[in-house]
Chains A and B, each alone.
Chain A
């Protein structure tokens, strides 16, 4: 039997101002396999994360759905939460009910709420099918190539080299310095550029 926890975020008023979040949580609680369905103002905050960890431990959850913003923003955050609670971090599925829902359907709250429910149902279906995944490990060559020897490349090269790491600074022109070396005085201090 899968033991699923669903955590729905308000993102302040970003989601909560459009989607009926407590209503969605109640609806999702009725899905088979969902042992816990709850909401919170900011799920990514420390109290929000602690709420997830506590639920994982109390209800012995083995897979988690977080319905919040885009995974591009917080997938790593919530994977770490699972890890801290002792779960495989890849037993997480996110439902994007902000960018894909509340932000684009702000004028139709009822439809947005229905869409949020559908998106979370999708995530619950996916999370039921997930299996633990394990990262592989690769070595690191401790040497950096900087492409371009203008002010940006020179500064990056110097900062890396000052930390004791080897740098190759590649420049297509015969000299380094780039556009900066062509300049006279530079604002706002009017000191020289070379």
Chain B
């Protein structure tokens, strides 16, 4: 993180949204919106006085609801940049005009309640989309696990926050309900993954490994603890992965093959009912805490981003690569590349590898001073064009613009409007040729004559 922030060739644009993308490979113009932080980061030193004094306590999204933060906050002590923003929805000053303590205590007068969003354009030649993932909202669909009403049924990411030394518990694994150390911890894999009826058809690919890690952490950090893992399959296809899983088993993690059918509360413990499908008999475990390995899904806002950037999504909402094997980091839009979980669930080693691959594609593009463009694009014959601009309306790439041409008629110079194709934007989809009533629009390499010759040959 720090390496990225300090690199002289990288400009960080945090708390920003991508509003608009225009142009084409090598020549994109993007519109970026800097969301208002209400803190002038040029003045702020990140001293932390403001968030110590802020009176508003809000549940921390970053800590997955396990901790609190202030209305002026940094998400975690090592954040980059290590300077706060004000959460406008929860700030007393911004909502009622009463408070302003952070502004009063700030030694550099960096707090600015008048700050507004600013929008600025940037020119770029390539775009790498790396928008990551979110987790399936299991509490909306898994009634058998309590629809989220038991505080001690948590997700793997909540477990990570707890286990993290900078997290809400300072690295201690505790029950969210009473803060006590759990002795029996049950892990359930494939919650939403490989479950067509309630979740997703696909495998999220990381859960087998992080669950093995979580089981190891429970056994390591909590003395006299037991870890039970309910699984459908154990998938460890990575270098040193199987060994890692076996280590957890040797440390005492008890793997039970079967789905959990019900979790319910008995006193202050959770009863986990399942079937052991290897032994063919029902099992029941009394647990202090249950950790669910929930499915990875595309990150919030992925559909809007796909539209903004002009890329396609697959049936699950992940961004579609140009070819599953041969062009895994390219999209069907030239100049736009993919890295990480936005393309499909993957773990950190695969993500890093894919990022390197996307970077190498970008660098191949950047190594050229000029690009040669595919000539199989639309061509509009001015002579035949009536200037109706039906083609402009259907063009998905905004590649058609009206153009005024002059011509001579009866000794006079006349003007008329025709459609003109931008060769940089046109992707050769042919939508314009279908709506063109005068036959002026033709796709080079797919002209009406050429297509009819094919039809004749095949029907003869």
Q: Is the CB of A144 within 8 A of B75?
A: no
Q: Is the CB of A174 within 8 A of B37?
A: yes
- Determine if B30 is an interface residue (Cβ-Cβ < 8 Å): yes
How far is it, in angstroms, between the C-alpha of A89 and the C-alpha of B104 when the chains are bound? 70
Near A by CB (< 8 A), chain B positions 304-363 give: 305, 309, 323, 326, 337, 339-342, 347-348, 351-352, 354-356, 358-360, 362-363
**Per-residue 0/1 for B1-43: is the Cβ within 8 Å of any A Cβ (1 yes, 0 no)?**
1011101111111111110000011111010100101000000
Find the A residue at minimum CB distance from B14.
Answer: A171
Q: How far is the CB of B72 from chain A (nearest CB, A)?
A: 11
How far is it, in angstroms, between the C-alpha of A90 and the C-alpha of B352 when the chains are bound? 38
A residues less than 8 Å from B414 (CB atoms): none
A residues less than 8 Å from B7 (CB atoms): 157-158, 161-162, 167
Q: Is the CB of B209 within 8 A of A187?
A: yes
A residues less than 8 Å from B371 (CB atoms): 137-140
How far is it, in angstroms, between the C-alpha of A178 and the C-alpha of B360 when the chains are bound? 22
**Interface size in chain A (residues, C-beta < 8 A):** 74
- Determine if A181 is an interface residue (Cβ-Cβ < 8 Å): yes
A residues less than 8 Å from B122 (CB atoms): 143, 145, 168
B residues less than 8 Å from A45 (CB atoms): none
Q: Is the CB of A155 within 8 A of B124?
A: no
27 sample A-B contacts, Cβ–Cβ < 8 Å, listed by A number: A125-B457, A125-B458, A126-B454, A126-B457, A129-B449, A129-B450, A137-B373, A138-B370, A140-B365, A141-B124, A143-B123, A147-B128, A149-B4, A153-B355, A161-B9, A161-B10, A163-B366, A165-B9, A165-B366, A171-B14, A175-B81, A184-B171, A185-B213, A187-B212, A188-B243, A188-B244, A193-B348
Contacts from A to B (Cβ < 8 Å): 72-73, 90, 118-119, 121-126, 128-130, 133-190, 193-194
Contacts from B to A (Cβ < 8 Å): 1, 3-5, 7-18, 24-28, 30, 32, 35, 37, 62, 64, 73-76, 78-81, 84-85, 122-133, 157, 160-161, 163-167, 171, 209-210, 212-213, 217, 238-241, 243-244, 305, 309, 323, 326, 337, 339-342, 347-348, 351-352, 354-356, 358-360, 362-363, 365-366, 368-376, 423-424, 444-445, 447, 449-451, 453-454, 456-458, 460
